[in-house]
Structure 1
Amino acid sequence: MSEIRHLRRAGEAIFKDRYTTKAKDLLRPWKSGETGAFGLVGLPLSKPSISHSGASFAPGAIRSALQGYTTYSGEAELELTTPIIDFGDLYMDPTDIIGNQNRLYEGMTDILATEATGKWVLLGGDHSVSYASIKAVKEKYESIGVIQFDAHHDFRNTEDGGPTNGTPFRRLLEEGVIQGDNLVQIGIRDFSNAKAYHDFGKEHGVKMYSMGNIRNDGIRDILEKERERLSKQVDRVYISLDMDVLDQAFAPGCPAIGPGGMNTEMLIEGISYLAKQEEVIAMDIVEIDPTVDIRNMTSRIAAYMILQLLKGKSC
């Protein structure tokens, strides 16, 4: 018998609508010499996390979540057609935590050197990966600012546990990779940080906005003000999106869930505004543990934020 009837290859969608293109279909494996408008890299490190975390599984989960969306924005009447060059995931050794952070930096340095694109989506991993990726981006573009969406300052000291997911921005500041007044923290949550780390931020001139600030002043007004200020100081802006900036009701897959955070509408408004700004050239998404997520809710929000970034850059 030469043909088996009704057989479909494993992994294909059960149902396919001839008029619908899924967002996951935008991903294209990187080939040497290829260039495009957007690049994507997985940074699957979570062993430096100070709490239990399976965030190393997040890059794959977020890619899969793109299958739940189409490429058409009805709001913008825009079809996303530009492929995303997917470099895959950087290799992480099972036990070598410090070495892994070096590998992330070296790998990102090499990837940026390909000149494959000027706009990047980086999928963590816990927040420790941002130290390596921001350091690599800073070396390429020299003058960068960082807008960090986060419930936490991530200014923890390294003496009590080494370079963990709670230390990346302290390390970046202490090593002079970024300047304090070029770091903007959005969504810092009440009863989630120590006074010493709040004071550390103030001493270094970091612009810190609590959830109270966001509720009172509005995320759009805050971002407009900080974007205007940063535009006078830096040439490029990097977004670091820690998904625990969201309230636990919206992001159950974060290792450090808690009440009093953003809702998804606030986050969409913030990312959509920043995506339209020419100086924004990279966004990392960190702190999703798919092993504790509920119906992939948190990964689906992350995938949606990727689409908001692409939409803003395509309009």
Structure 2
Amino acid sequence: MPFTYLNPGKPTTFKDRHVTKVAETVRTYEEGLKGEVGLIGLPSSKSSISLSMAANAPITIRTALQSFSTYEASTRRDFKGMTVLDFGDTPIHPTSVEETLERLHVSVLEMLEEEACERYVLLGGDHGVSYPAIHAFQKKYGTVGVLQWDAHHDVRNLEDGGRTNGTPFRSLIDGGLLAGSHLVQIGIRDYSNAKAYDDYCQKNNIHVYTMDDVEEQGIIPLVQKEITRLAEQVDMMYLSVDMDAVDQAHAPGCPAIGPGGLTSRELLTSVRIAAKHHKVKAIDIVEVDPSKDMRDMTSRLAAHTMMRFMYR
């Protein structure tokens, strides 16, 4: 006899017939399926130079998608018809960072080879995942331009610890996979870097915008200017969002929090502006540590960042 109220094996959740949650638009990838956006988790944080559980972020960000609707009030558009194909998470090697990087690279490249989606969201992990991921996009699409939201340059030397979450862009540039002039860094903060790495950026013609630059120029004109410049020089563009670019008041769940960063609105608006260009094919969102978060504030902001990219 069927139960009156019980529904074994299924969660007890309220459902409003008029509301579609973002999580409801996510489907597990199967061969032959097509969608607008591909989603992959890159749960690696063993290369972090500070203690980090960012490997757990893909789970918490996906969970956060259950809290938000597909309706955009500012434009009166509903994205409930969009399909997000979830390719799952790459299993990392238990001890070898280099093997993990290879697995991440292969997984992203294989996802791209399926050609099932137009654009892609990659959920880290620490910022070290950007190196194998961008390398995969470079193999697939050709010349890549990168907009990096970050408090740090992430061009540390490799002699003091190998490939870490502080080395992805040095690895790409020194490896000939990314031209320095095709990298734009937004939100670089005082007292968060070394002069040697500022010198490296200047030597390699990396376009660096500090928080003072953001204050003086405004983040929207700045992003628009660099997107226009890159679009004339590259085959595709990739957005890399290190959540520690955001002020610790808005994103407490990062291993390297600090004051004086971007507001949540500045991050979301600038990502939306960048994502509108047709050459922007991907975004990674990294450095969310759920173990350090407060009421999932950072995971929820990461989910909104993902949505600003998808719903352009």
Corresponding position of 1:278 = 278
Matches within 5 A, 1:232-247: 232-247=232-247
Q: Does the residue aligned with 2:2 lie in a helix, a strand or coil?
A: coil
Q: Which runs of 5+ in 2 are unaligned?
A: none
Distance 1:201 1:11 in 2: 52
Q: Is the alpha carbon distance of 1:251 and 1:228 closer, same or farther for their aligned partners in structure 2, counting shifts above 3 Å?
A: same
Corresponding position of 1:203 = 203
Matched, 1:34 2:33: yes
Size of the aligned set, in residue pairs, is 311
* Structure 1 residue 9 displacement after superposition: 4.2
Q: Does the residue aligned with 1:291 lie in a helix, a strand or coil?
A: helix
Corresponding position of 1:169 = 169
Corresponding position of 1:16 = 15
Measured against aligned partners, the alpha-carbon deviations of 1:264-296 in whole angstroms (never above 9, x if no partner) come to 111111011012111110000000001110000
Distance 2:192 2:9 in 1: 45
Corresponding position of 1:61 = 60
Corresponding position of 1:88 = 88
Measured against aligned partners, the alpha-carbon deviations of 1:135-182 in whole angstroms (never above 9, x if no partner) come to 000110002100000000001011101100000000000001000000
Matched, 1:127 2:136: no
Distance 2:5 2:35 in 1: 37
Distance 1:70 1:183 in 2: 33
Q: Which runs of 5+ in 1 are unaligned?
A: none
Distance 1:9 1:284 in 2: 37
Q: Does the residue aligned with 2:93 lie in a helix, a strand or coil?
A: coil
Distance 2:10 2:211 in 1: 42
* Structure 1 residue 3 displacement after superposition: 2.2
Q: Is the alpha carbon distance of 1:249 and 1:9 closer, same or farther for their aligned partners in structure 2, counting shifts above 3 Å?
A: farther
Calculate percent identity across the aligned residue pairs: 46
Distance 1:18 1:115 in 2: 33
Aligned residue type for 2:208: M
* Structure 1 residue 118 displacement after superposition: 2.2
Q: Does the residue aligned with 1:208 lie in a helix, a strand or coil?
A: strand
Q: Is the alpha carbon distance of 1:11 and 1:172 closer, same or farther for their aligned partners in structure 2, counting shifts above 3 Å?
A: farther
Corresponding position of 1:264 = 264
Q: Is the alpha carbon distance of 1:168 and 1:13 closer, same or farther for their aligned partners in structure 2, counting shifts above 3 Å?
A: farther
Instruction: Give the alignment's Cα RMSD to 1 decimal.
Output: 1.0
Corresponding position of 2:188 = 188
Corresponding position of 1:98 = 98
Matched, 1:224 2:231: no
Matched, 1:157 2:157: yes
